[in-house]
Amino acid sequence: MSQSESEIFSAIVPAPFGYMGIRTEVNQLAELVYLPDRFSEKAPSDSCAEQTAKQIEAYFADPDFRFDLPLKQVGTEFQHRVWNAISAIPRGQVKTYGHIAKLISSAPRAVGQACGANWFPLVIPCHRVTASGGLGGFAHHDDETGFHLGVKRYLLRLEQVPEYSGVTPVQLQEPLW
């Protein structure tokens, strides 16, 4: 990892699949990023990053944990509608892009785009949204053997989604608004 890659994050904390990058701005969470093993741990640089790191650790210890973090206001009105619908999906369940689209009177592809634009994965659990014929993409990545889909599989297994409960982790280097 280069120094400049690490500098954009307020903290980098270990996760079962690699790391989570935490970026904060003015005492708000600005972004969470799934990071592979080439990154290394970085201590939180502010209280919001520290609070976020503790809550991420709590989630990995107990996937029923509910995040309570100050989030930076980002996204469009449409993205907020999608993110609110996704936030209502309980742990242990998945919904399809088509199901979410019907709930908000939209199209599955538009829902997928809003999922990919999610600045707060884990907090807004886009990993709980799948394609009708399988896993689908994740974080704007759809390579079936790639890092991000490995993370999605891991999170669904952690949350004990029945159809993913046998998936082994890939070893790789209330409404919010």
Q: What is the pTM of this model?
A: 0.83
Q: Of how many residues is the chain composed?
A: 177
pLDDT value at residue 139: 52
- The tokens describing 165, both together, are 């409960």
Asked if 113 contacts 140 with a C-beta cutoff of 8 angstroms, the reply is no
Instruction: For 164, list phi and psi in degrees, rounded to 5.
Output: -120, 5
Q: Which domains does the chain have, with CATH numbers?
A: 3-61 (no CATH), 77-164 (1.10.10.10)
Q: pLDDT by residue (tens digit) across 161-172?
A: 877 654 444 333
Q: What would the pLDDT profile of 111-147 be if each residue is shown by its tens digit?
A: 999 998 999 999 999 999 988 876 665 554 555 557 7
- Residue reference for tokens 């994740």: 138
Beta strand 28-35 pairing with 18-25: antiparallel
Task: Place 173 in a pLDDT band, splitting at 50, 70 and 90.
Answer: very low
pLDDT tens for each residue of 3-24: 566 789 999 999 999 999 999 9
What is the C-alpha separation between 123 and 63, in angstroms, rounded?
11
Instruction: Give me 145's structure tokens.
Output: 């053997």
Handedness of CA 73, 78, 81, 82 (dihedral sign): negative
Q: pLDDT at position 143, please? A: 56
Distance CA 1, CA 39 (A): 5
Active site residues: 126
Structure tokens at 99: 């199901």
Tokens read off for 29: 């969470």
